[in-house]
């Protein structure tokens, strides 16, 4: 019986459970994206040749299907892709003539930088407005803070992006994204200009849920006994708000921040396209229009792995903030 108990504890330990959850999540995503791509009308041949596909002979189409690897059964295509992906061979982009791995090495830093900028701006705005709103619940400042959160949630990112681009280009004749993209190491000032506005768009999208989470967490924490004790000891209100109230409200804020950062990694597709940033979102969008299965599948899987990694990192931050959390 003791041996069975130890085995049960080992099988259902937090580490094993978390690992199994990550594995099943990634497996489900791989199957989902593989099937969805095959459901979409067209294939790599039609994506490459367009309307000229109609003039191809049956023999040419057969040879092209073999060349692109889509003449095999769906199961064989899936197994072949998974084997290649696990071995580090992400596939080949037929339209650019470059491997997906090389494309990803170039595009991934752009997306990560944009997501980091958007998350940092969003957390700063969200926490600031949330604290401002929670200071006097039911007041005009609370109404103003919640109105900001509502508007930030209601305005789609592509609308805000298009509006910013239109105003900058037509009114101020200023559009740094019209020039070739510069990395922070090549030209820091140009990179800042190119990332500032798309980062702001994503930051506003992040600020709304962070603001609402911060407000709710602060209002829940402010009535705790330790907060009243701090006030009773004569601790300055600002110190109470920062050291006692905000610090003990960080768990839900960190949770929301981690979720939003993960979403930004894969959700900046439209923003990258509008602002002409050569990131992962733009890469996968272009690949979808050309029906490049390998590029789309491998890029989406990289997004999924990054999202899972962010969740694991968030769990580690939990333990750092609150040592009482064991799972």
**Per-residue model confidence as pLDDT tens digits over 71-116:** 777 888 888 888 888 887 777 777 777 788 888 888 888 888 888 8
- Cα-Cα-Cα-Cα torsion 130, 131, 132, 136, nearest 10 degrees, comes to 110
> Is 237 in contact with 280 (CB distance < 8 Å)?
no
Q: CA 188 → CA 28, 182, 208, distances in Å?
A: 40, 8, 29
- Checking if the pLDDT of 312 tops 50, the result is yes
pLDDT (mean) for 182-195: 86
- Give the CATH class of 100-321: mainly alpha
Helix and strand element counts for the chain (H, E) = 15, 2
Res 243: pLDDT: 66
pLDDT digits (tens, 9 = 90+) for 11-67: 455 667 777 788 888 888 888 888 887 787 766 777 666 666 666 777 777 777 777
Residue range(s) in the chain whose domain bears CATH number 1.10.3720.10: 100-321
- Checking if the pLDDT of 1 tops 50, the result is no
Res 326: pLDDT: 54
Res 255: pLDDT: 78
Two structure tokens written together for 272: 């990258």
pLDDT (mean) for 224-243: 67
Res 55: pLDDT: 63
Res 75: pLDDT: 86
* CA angle, 281 then 282 then 283, to 5°: 90
> Is 324 in contact with 56 (CB distance < 8 Å)?
no
Distance from C-alpha of 128 to C-alpha of 214, rounded to nearest angstrom: 9
Torsion 279-281-287-290 (CA) sign: negative
Average pLDDT of the residues of the chain: 78
Q: CA 293 → CA 43, 153, 154, 266, 300, distances in Å?
A: 8, 33, 34, 17, 11
* Percent of the chain's residues with pLDDT above 70: 79
Two structure tokens written together for 297: 């599948």
| DSSP character at residue 96 | T
- Residue 196: alpha-carbon gap to chain centroid: 18
Higher pLDDT, 313 or 244: 313
pLDDT (mean) for 267-285: 82
- Checking if the pLDDT of 170 tops 60, the result is yes
- Residue 231: alpha-carbon gap to chain centroid: 40
Higher pLDDT, 232 or 300: 300
- Terminal-to-terminal C-alpha distance of the chain: 26
- Checking if the pLDDT of 206 tops 50, the result is yes
pTM of the entire predicted model: 0.78
> Is 311 in contact with 304 (CB distance < 8 Å)?
no
Measuring CA to CA, which residue among 125, 197, 208 is closest to residue 163?
197
């Amino acid at each position: 019986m003791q041996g069975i108990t130890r085995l049960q504890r080992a099988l259902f330990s937090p580490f094993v459970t978390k690992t199994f959850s990550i594995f099943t999540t990634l497996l489900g995503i791989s199957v989902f994206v593989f099937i969805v791509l095959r459901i979409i009308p067209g294939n790599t041949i039609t994506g490459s040749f367009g309307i000229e596909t109609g003039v191809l002979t049956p023999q040419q189409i057969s040879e092209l299907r073999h060349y692109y690897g889509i003449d095999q059964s769906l199961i064989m295509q899936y197994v072949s892709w998974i084997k290649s992906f696990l071995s580090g061979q992400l596939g080949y982009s037929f339209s650019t003539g470059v491997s997906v791995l090389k494309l990803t090495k170039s595009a991934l830093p752009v997306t990560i930088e944009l997501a980091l900028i958007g998350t940092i701006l969003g957390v700063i705005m969200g926490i600031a407005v949330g604290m401002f709103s929670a200071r006097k619940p039911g007041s005009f400042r609370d109404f103003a803070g919640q109105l900001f959160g509502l508007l930030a949630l209601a305005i789609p990112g592509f609308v805000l992006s298009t509006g910013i681009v239109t105003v900058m280009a037509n009114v101020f004749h200023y559009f740094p994204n019209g020039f070739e993209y510069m990395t922070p190491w090549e030209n820091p000032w140009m990179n800042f200009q190119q990332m500032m506005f798309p980062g702001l768009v994503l930051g506003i999208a992040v600020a709304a849920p962070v603001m609402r989470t911060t407000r709710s967490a602060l209002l829940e924490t402010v009535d705790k006994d330790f907060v009243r004790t701090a006030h009773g000891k004569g601790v300055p209100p600002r110190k109470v708000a920062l050291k006692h109230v905000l610090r003990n409200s960080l768990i839900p804020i960190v949770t929301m921040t981690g979720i939003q950062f993960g979403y930004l990694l894969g959700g900046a597709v439209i923003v990258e396209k509008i602002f002409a940033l050569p990131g992962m979102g733009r890469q996968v969008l272009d690949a979808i229009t050309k029906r490049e299965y390998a590029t789309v599948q491998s890029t989406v899987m990289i997004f999924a792995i990054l999202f899972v990694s962010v969740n694991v990192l968030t769990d580690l931050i939990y333990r750092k903030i609150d040592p009482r959390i064991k799972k």
